[in-house]
Amino acid sequence: MGKVSLDNALDRATARQDDGTRAIPGAAFVAIDTKKGLIYSKASGSRTLSANGTDFALDGLCFIASMTKLITSIAAMQAVERGLIGLDDDVSNVLHEWKDAQVLDGFDNSGEPMLHKAKNKITLRSSSFYHIPADAGYTVPLVYEPGEGWAYGAGIDWAGRLVERLNGNISLGEYMEKNIWGPMGMTSTTFNIEENPSMQARRVD
């Protein structure tokens, strides 16, 4: 597919319908070759849902949501790489909230949870670390023994909390800015766009 075909495909995908709406409000497509560098870039459509919205631009800021999991995982692996913690170390030595983790066995006839104290330690390597809920109000029983199962949850937030505590209680955003976003030239990445007026002006709704 050549450049003209890509241009047309993107424009068709974001075209305004007869009723004024768009199937896809706006989008940008960028292709980079490791040897040649930038080989294609185009933005099309609107960056807002309103009928008279601002055109979608290549420098528009989009909400990347669950990409936080990837970047937090990188931060956790940097902690391992720097010797701050091992993959098989018990994270409850740092995350004291999990010193007495409990595992849910089921519920009794009256609907009360049946629990037992976790036999295995929670580690960065164990998949269970990533399904434990985050923060003080979320220290609920585990669904599996650590390392023996996995379920979707907010445990990646605990990995972020681990990174913070291993690095002098710096905020996760500050850590990522210094150790990941900054070195990679990701100057338009933040947890708090409301605190960055220049970014807010390019926000995609």
46, 66, 73, 92: which is the annotated catalytic residue?
Answer: 66
Residues in the chain: 205
Q: Give helix 156-166 / helix 67-81 axis angle, nearest 10°.
A: 40
Query: Is 66 assigned a catalytic role?
Result: yes
What are the catalytic residues?
Answer: 66
